[in-house]
Structure 1
Amino acid sequence: MAKSDTRRLDKEIQHTTRKLTAVQNRELWPLDGRERRAILAAVAGGGIRTARGKSTGRAERSIDTAWSAAETRLIAEVTALQGERQRLVTEAAKAKAAKKSSGWW
């Protein structure tokens, strides 16, 4: 394993963690297109219902659902990246131990 492999994964983990923090702060930039459309559609629908003087419960629930789906997606990405990094580190350690034990001394 080259250090560049873990460095690349570390950068990806850091970037995805920043995205997760942004989603938890309800920022729109880290969302993908489907999530962004769902949130904006719910906001528009809620705005129309508010203008008509009606309840916005369904719109609020759909907004909360979209935010939690985005958060869940990013948590899964971070977990997968950390697992991949750990796998690379473990493989490198096994290779190093095998190389050491195969020596004459």
Structure 2
Amino acid sequence: MAKPDTRRLDREIQQTTRKLTAVQKREMWPLTGRERRAVLAALAGGSYKVMRGNSPARAERKLETAWGAAETRLSAEISVLQTERQRIVNEAATVKAAKRSSGWW
């Protein structure tokens, strides 16, 4: 029996890891529309406060919360994909062991 086919999951894990790295570098491209709007709203609010001469502390907290939520989402996606990959590998190993145990003798 051949090895289990995990290429699709491996590719998804690799892509999601790239997205997580990009979010940690504060790049916008891997964000969903909702996350992108939250980041841009916090940036706009903070810049407005700075222009008015006020403290942008609340906007900075909102910005950090938005980035943290994106990191959490991507980390959860990676763990789900890795769990699914492990399940497929274990299932294939169980089938292989069952085949060998029901051998000719």
TM-score between both structures, scaled by the size of structure 1:
0.95
- Counterpart position of 2:48: 48
Could you list the structure 1 runs, at least 4 aligned residues long, displaced by more than 2 angstroms after superposition: 1-5
- Counterpart position of 1:10: 10
Question: Any unmatched runs of 5+ in structure 1?
Answer: none
CA distance in 2, matches of 1:63, 1:101: 57
State the Cα distance separating 1:53 from its structure 2 match: 0.4
Change (3 A) 1:3 1:36: farther
Write the deviation string for residues 33-87 of structure 1: whole angstroms up to 9, x where unpaired: 0000000001001111110000100000000000000000000000000000000
Which amino acid is the alignment partner of residue 68 of structure 2?
A: S
Map 1:15-26 → 2, pairs under 5 A: 15-26=15-26
Number of residue pairs aligned between Structure 1 and Structure 2: 105
**Greater mean alpha carbon deviation, residues 2-11 or residues 69-78:** 2-11
State the Cα distance separating 1:2 from its structure 2 match: 6.9
Identity of aligned residues (%): 71
- Counterpart position of 1:69: 69
TM-score between both structures, scaled by the size of structure 2:
0.95
Question: Any unmatched runs of 5+ in structure 2?
Answer: none
Q: CA RMSD in A?
A: 1.5
State the Cα distance separating 1:3 from its structure 2 match: 5.4
State the Cα distance separating 1:98 from its structure 2 match: 0.2
- Counterpart position of 2:81: 81
Contact between 2:46 and 2:56, CA under 8 Å: does it hold in 1?
yes
State the Cα distance separating 1:30 from its structure 2 match: 0.3
CA distance in 2, matches of 1:99, 1:4: 15
- Counterpart position of 1:32: 32
